[in-house]
């Protein structure tokens, strides 16, 4: 994702817009995907996805600060976040929808 390298308000608002637009896009695609997985339970699945996101937003900083310790080194927290992304990728690849087979 490109960054806007300006000091002051222009850089702040420009980067916030870029990040915000990508976040809204990801949420929109995720909601559409969830609705297509199982329309009968889409509200439940959307609620569970929201709960998972909220837990990550709550626990992520706590874990990162605990791992940073007295050194204020956030490398361990970034590694845990990267490991979580890799686990998510592996799960996505394992459970992706397979085309129906005909016998």
Report the pLDDT value the prediction gives residue 21, as an integer from 0 to 100.
Answer: 81
Give the C-alpha distances (Å, rounded to integers) separating 101 from 36, 67, 91, 92, 98: 20, 47, 22, 20, 9
Q: Is the overall model pTM greater than 0.85, yes or no?
A: no
pLDDT top residue among 56 and 70:
56
Helical H segments across 1-103, by residue range: 9-37, 42-68, 75-94
- C-alpha–C-alpha distance, residues 37 and 93, integer Å: 16
| Same domain for 7 and 31 | yes
| Same domain for 50 and 26 | no
> For residue 26, what are the domain limits?
1-37
| Same domain for 87 and 48 | yes
pLDDT at residue 3 is higher than 60:
no
| Same domain for 87 and 55 | yes
Q: Does 103 reside within a domain?
A: no
């Amino acid at each position: 994702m490109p960054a806007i390298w300006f000091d002051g308000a222009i850089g702040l608002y420009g980067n916030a817009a870029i990040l915000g637009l990508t976040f809204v896009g990801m949420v929109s695609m995720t909601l559409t995907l969830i609705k297509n997985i199982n329309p009968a339970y889409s509200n439940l699945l959307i609620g569970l996805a929201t709960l998972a996101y909220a837990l990550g937003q709550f626990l992520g900083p706590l874990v990162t600060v605990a791992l940073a310790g007295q050194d204020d080194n956030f490398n361990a927290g970034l590694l845990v976040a990267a490991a979580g992304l890799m686990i998510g990728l592996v799960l996505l690849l394992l459970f992706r929808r397979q085309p129906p087979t005909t016998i």
